[in-house]
Amino acid sequence: MSELTDTQNSWLSPEDLAIVRNQVPMVYVDAVPVRTDPDGQVTHVGMLLRQGADGSISRMCVSGRVMFNERIRDALMRHLEKDLGPMALPRLPPEPAPFTVVEYFTDPSISGFYDPRHHAVSLAFVVPVTGECHPTQQALDLAWFTPEQAVSPEVIKEMTGGHDRLIRLALASVGQLP
């Protein structure tokens, strides 16, 4: 490994990251932000509009890498705050459990989840948010959809990389798949 590795924040240099991506699956988290009613039923699903790994502009969930020595909960909070803003107020339990594990491959025919950069294993979570969300950094927009809208053909055609399947799995995991 290169001496350019930043050990303070556990990020690899771009060169080292390229080497690792070609040899080792990366660990990611995917978070599907939701709004719920007083009974805990999902009323809306939040999706970002951003540039995907394949270069397309598409609707997707909050997603990102887990850093070395970072707890899953901390990675989720970091990515939710980075993408939705610091006032999103996600409600995460002390020890969150994923609703599924997703494998992204460089070949879209393997699992239906696709990332041209690397093989990644992602723990996927449904995360209720209660505060004001404002997309930050790389997100172009954040839109809230009812469960019916989130799985409609109009919205699905805006998604790439298997995020349409991830939204369906998330809604099914909370009993809200239309």
Read out DSSP for 115-178?
Answer: -TT--EEEEEEEEEB-S-----TT-SEEEEE-HHHHTSHHHHTTB-TTHHHHHHHHHHHTT---
Q: Is residue 8 part of a domain?
A: no
Q: Is residue 34 part of a domain?
A: yes
From the number of C-beta atoms within 10 Å of its C-beta (0-12, 13-18, 19+), residue 30 rates as: buried
Q: Is the four-CA dihedral 11, 52, 105, 44 of positive or negative sign? A: positive
**Bridge partners of residue 125, in order along the sequence:** 31
Per-residue buried b or exposed e for 35-67, using 16+ beta carbons within 10 Å of the residue's own CB: ebeeeeebebbbbbebebbeeeebbbbbbbbbe
Q: Is residue 22 part of a domain?
A: yes
**CATH of residue 24:** 3.90.79.10
pLDDT in tens, the chain (178 residues): 344 434 455 577 888 888 887 888 899 999 999 999 999 999 999 999 998 877 889 999 999 999 989 999 999 999 999 999 989 999 999 999 999 999 999 999 999 999 999 999 999 999 999 999 888 766 779 999 999 999 999 999 999 999 999 999 999 999 999 8
Q: Is residue 133 part of a domain?
A: yes
Q: Is residue 178 part of a domain?
A: no
Contact 44, 144 (CB under 8 A): yes
The residue type at 31: A
Q: Is residue 94 part of a domain?
A: yes
Contact 174, 43 (CB under 8 A): no
Per the listing, tokens 């990251």 go with 17
For 84, other C-beta atoms within 10 Å of its C-beta total: 26
Q: Is residue 21 part of a domain?
A: yes
Q: How many domains does the chain have?
A: 1
3-state secondary structure of 31: strand
**Cα separation, 39 vs 48, whole angstroms:** 25
Q: Is residue 50 part of a domain?
A: yes
Which pLDDT score, from 0 to 100, does residue 137 have? 66
Rg (CA), the chain: 16
Backbone angles phi, psi at 149, to 5 degrees: -65, -40
- Structural domain including 141 reads 14-173
